[in-house]
Amino acid sequence: MKSCYINSIVSISAQKTFEGTFFFKEIIAHKSVTVNAIHPNYKNLINPISSRRMSTGVKMGVSAAIMSLKEANIKIPDAIITGTGMGCIEDSEKFLNAIIDNNEQYLNPTLFINSTHNTVGAQIAIALNCKGYNMTYVHGASSFPLALFDAQLLIHEKEAKTALVGGVDELGKEFIKKVIRLEKMNSEGIIVPFSEGANFFLLSSEKKINTYASLKNIDIFHKIELHNLQEKLEKFLENNQLLTSDIDAVVLGLNGDAYDSYYYQLQESIFKTIPQIQYKHLSGEFFTASGFGFWISSNLIKKQYIPDALLINSIKKSEYNNVLLYNQFKGYQHTFILLTAC
Amino acid sequence: MKKGVAITGMGIISSIGNNVEDNLNSLLNYNKRIAPLSSIESKHKGFIKVGEVSLSNKLLADHLKLTSGKIYSRTALLGGIAAKQAVEQSNIDLMSNYDTGLISATSVGGMDITENYFNISQNDDENIKWIGRHHAGDSTEKIAKLLGVSDYVSTISTACSSGANAIILGARLINSGKLDRVIVGGTDSLTKFTINGFNTLMILSDKDCAPFDYNRKGLNLGEAAAFLVLESDKLVKLEKKDTLAYIAGYGNANDAFHQTASSVDGEGAFLAMQKALINSNLQSDNIDYINLHGTATSNNDLSEGKAIKRIFGDKIPDFSSTKAYTGHTLAAAGAIEAVYSILALQNNVMFPNLNFKTPIPELQMIPITQVIKKKLKNILSNSFGFGGNCSSIIFSKS
């Protein structure tokens, strides 16, 4: 596999991650059931005329994309690849309500236009006048890893030298209430807050001075039985000429529900003696939250330390060369992402 | 010239037939099926003309031997039927013998369920569970479950080019050696959401749509699903598989012009076709027939026509849009038209562009309007979508 470098990382999240290049300046502890992202002043980033019609997710996505290119010093990438679990849920629910409330009359076409899942990818293409490869993945918690997977493949195929990759999901207003109610009906539902965010990255075939890490490999599994997890993971590492003992830190998508058992199994076995990291208590849960985990993993390799608020156990290491990111959602959509120092 | 990626199975369900054979018969016999909306409770019922699949959710679920049809969105049911047909034709026994993936494309996902349960009371604990069917990936997971695919499973949504992009991704995964076998396609059911959406955009025709006609008034929506089985050469040789056709090349580009409108000169479409030709190592004069995107909107047909002229100059091959048969099936369109392209190659026949009378003055392009027999080697299939997403695929004879 051709090397694939992470040359910029940008996060709009429920933490103050957007301004500056800090690996958390301060930590915001969340107590509510839903948490909005800390939104930057979009007027400074997007043309106000365009921005007026944009929903929260589109604004977050386009802004994170623009900043990501700026940080990597790239004007137009060869490819734009986005992932979103719920798509433009804000405008979708507005349009849906209008259909129901107004008996299918007096509808606003802009809401429909902006409800399409590829709106973020399209708006980035328009903002940059980027005519290259453009793709949108919409597969729940796999959406962001699938986008990364595609970017890595494009670079491997030499179809692209640079690929802008991002995950974005907005909280919306009504759909989320039903999701929360559903979770509460479950005795072991999701505990971390529900949130939103945009995490964008510039992947490149070329290593630069500001490169964060190398994206070694990604694997995606629709379903893994709990008793097969360790074997699948060991196989993944073996395919990358690594043993579990080569992993310096593991970044886990714990969200407090019953399916955290998948993470526990690794925490109590093969990764017992290495630093274990969680992040969803800070970012909240949303389908593309693993993008925030990817932001953390990239930062960890570049900055070589783990902020205390992320650490589950109290183990630290002097060097972080291989970092594994593992996420799943309700026992489905398992993804392994391997990052390496370079 | 390279051989490309082998196609060893295909399946389809659309308004003109519930399987491949029925679709072929309808195409050959000029049997379009565009009629006033009948199965969705809507203000537009009985008025807006659409291409509906004749089977109810109950019948689709029975066909799939599901215990309760209510668990699946219509998008998942249609997709399940088409994907199972494809797998059956490819004669696959055990999914786990080879590294197998599933890529499905959808634009509506579970919206057909959501729009019926969205305004339920917050205390309706019985019906609130349907909300989990909404996200686009859910329909794909249901298909994965029906087929028994457990590893790489992915959903693509790039509006009306989604189906083509699912096929392209599958071909790339085989070409790169990541997977041995990928089931690829698209599925979209009709929903009140999309019908009203397109209606507010004022691009729906009140008549049967007339692609590439001067007096075209817009598109008819349709619902459908189609899937292909793509397999690596290694697998085809090892298992001595019959191939239906090959994917010779593909291109994906963005128009970067407007969220819903295509650029005047069809830049995105031009780039997608150009990339597909380069990718397949073919010249424009190697293309024997084009299955157009041809939605019959004023904007698409003009823009697509201009892009075709830019690629082919004054040597434009035979071309037609099959959308007048089925309606525009959105995320399924690229997949059903892939099946039509393969059928064209297998039978050496080109399908007519129905309802065409007068060429667009700026283009003076006249599509095939009859069933015409011709030896076909390479077919170009176009799929363009909102968001400027443009994709083209070249299918070649086995």
In this predicted complex, what is the ipTM? 0.97
Q: Name residue A181's amino acid.
A: R
Residue B234, token pair as written in the block:
């290694």
The CATH number of B251-397, from 3.40.47.10, 3.40.50.10860, 3.20.20.150, 1.20.200.10, is 3.40.47.10
* pLDDT tops 80 at residue A131: yes
Report the candidate in A270, A122, A76 with the shortest Cα–Cα distance to residue B386: A122
pLDDT band for B379, please (50, 70, 90 cuts).
very high
Q: Find the CB nearest B43 among A103, A121, A140.
A: A103
SS (H, E, C) A182-199: HHHHCCCCCCCCECCEEE
Residue A25, token pair as written in the block:
């300046």
Handedness of CA A76, A80, A84, A90 (dihedral sign): positive
Q: Are B70 and B4 in contact (CB under 8 A)?
A: no
Q: How far apart are the C-alpha atoms of A24 and A54, rounded to whole Å? A: 28
> How many angstroms away from the CA of B215 is the closest CA of chain A?
24
Q: Find the CB nearest B141 among A125, A130, A222.
A: A222
> How many angstroms away from the CA of A138 is the closest CA of chain B?
5
Q: How far apart are the C-alpha atoms of A60 and A291, rounded to whole Å? A: 13
Known catalytic membership, residue B63: no
Please tell me if the domain spanning B5-238 has the same topology as the one spanning B251-397.
yes
What is the pLDDT averaged over residues B26-42? 97
- In the CATH scheme, what is the code of domain A5-204? 3.40.47.10
What is the pLDDT averaged over residues B42-58? 96
For residues A285 and A178, the model is more confident at A285
CATH superfamily membership of A213-340: Thiolase/Chalcone synthase (3.40.47.10)
**Domain extents in chain B:** 5-238, 251-397
Q: Are B306 and B266 in contact (CB under 8 A)?
A: yes
Does residue B178 belong to the interface with chain A, where contact is any CB pair within 8 Å?
A: yes
For A177, the closest chain B residue by CA position comes to B122
**β-strand partners of A339:** A215, A323
CA distances from B157 to A138, B108, B161, B169 (A): 6, 9, 8, 12
Q: Are A161 and A78 in contact (CB under 8 A)?
A: yes
Cα Rg of chain B (Å, integer): 20
Per DSSP, the residues of A21-80 read S-S-SS-PPP-SSB-------GGGTS-HHHHTT--HHHHHHHHHHHHHHHHHT-SS-SEE
Q: Given an 8 Å threshold on Cβ–Cβ distance, is A131 in contact with B178?
A: no
**What is the reported pLDDT for B120?**
75
> How many angstroms away from the CA of B136 is the closest CA of chain A?
6
CB atoms within 10 A of CB B241: 17
pLDDT band for B68, please (50, 70, 90 cuts).
low
Q: Name residue B85's amino acid.
A: Q
Matching residue, tokens 């957007």: A18
End-to-end Cα spacing for chain B: 13
**What is the reported pLDDT for A1?**
65
| Helices A56-72 & A119-128 angle (0-180, nearest 10) | 50
Q: Report the relative pairing of strands B49-51 and B35-36 from DSSP bridges.
A: antiparallel
**What is the reported pLDDT for B2?**
60
Q: Are A280 and A251 in contact (CB under 8 A)?
A: no
Q: Are B392 and B273 in contact (CB under 8 A)?
A: yes
Stated length of chain A: 342
Q: How far apart are the C-alpha atoms of A178 and A68, rounded to whole Å? A: 34
Active-site residue among B44, B134, B209, B328? B328
pLDDT band for B324, please (50, 70, 90 cuts).
very high
Q: How far apart are the C-alpha atoms of A181 and A176, rounded to whole Å? A: 9
CA distances from B386 to A119, B162, B254, B322 (A): 8, 10, 10, 19
CB atoms within 10 A of CB B215: 11
Known catalytic membership, residue B135: no
Report the candidate in B20, B18, B54 with the shortest Cα–Cα distance to residue B35: B54
Matching residue, tokens 């690849």: A81
Q: Which one-letter DSSP state was computed for residue A225?
A: -
Q: Given an 8 Å threshold on Cβ–Cβ distance, is B389 in contact with A134?
A: yes
**What is the reported pLDDT for B1?**
46
pLDDT digits (tens, 9 = 90+) for B184-213: 999 999 999 999 999 999 999 999 999 999
Does residue B188 belong to the interface with chain A, where contact is any CB pair within 8 Å?
A: no
Q: How far apart are the C-alpha atoms of B248 and B237, rounded to whole Å? A: 18
pTM for this model (two decimals): 0.98
CA atoms within 13 A on the CB side of B149: 31
Q: What whole-number percentage of chain B has pLDDT above 90?
A: 90
**What is the reported pLDDT for B144?**
96
**Domain B5-238 grouped into CATH 3.40.50.2300:** no
Q: Are B55 and B90 in contact (CB under 8 A)?
A: no
Phi-psi domain of A191 (left: phi exceeds 0; alpha: psi -120 through 50; beta: other): alpha
For A1, the enclosing helix (H) or strand (E) is: none
What is the pLDDT averaged over residues B50-61? 96
Tell me what the pLDDT averaged over chain A comes to.
Answer: 96
CB atoms within 10 A of CB B346: 16
φ/ψ (deg, to 5) at A133? -50, 135
**What is the reported pLDDT for B71?**
78
pLDDT band for B69, please (50, 70, 90 cuts).
low
Residue B189, token pair as written in the block:
């059911």
On chain B, the residues whose CB falls within 8 A of the CB of A93 are 118
Q: Are B323 and B352 in contact (CB under 8 A)?
A: no
**Domain extents in chain A:** 5-204, 213-340
Q: Which one-letter DSSP state was computed for residue B125?
A: T
CA distances from A86 to A26, B64, B281 (A): 29, 27, 38
Q: How far apart are the C-alpha atoms of B178 and A233, rounded to whole Å? A: 17
**What is the reported pLDDT for B67?**
82
Q: Which one-letter DSSP state was computed for residue B261?
A: P
Give residues with Cβ within 8 angstroms of B124, minimum separation 6.
none
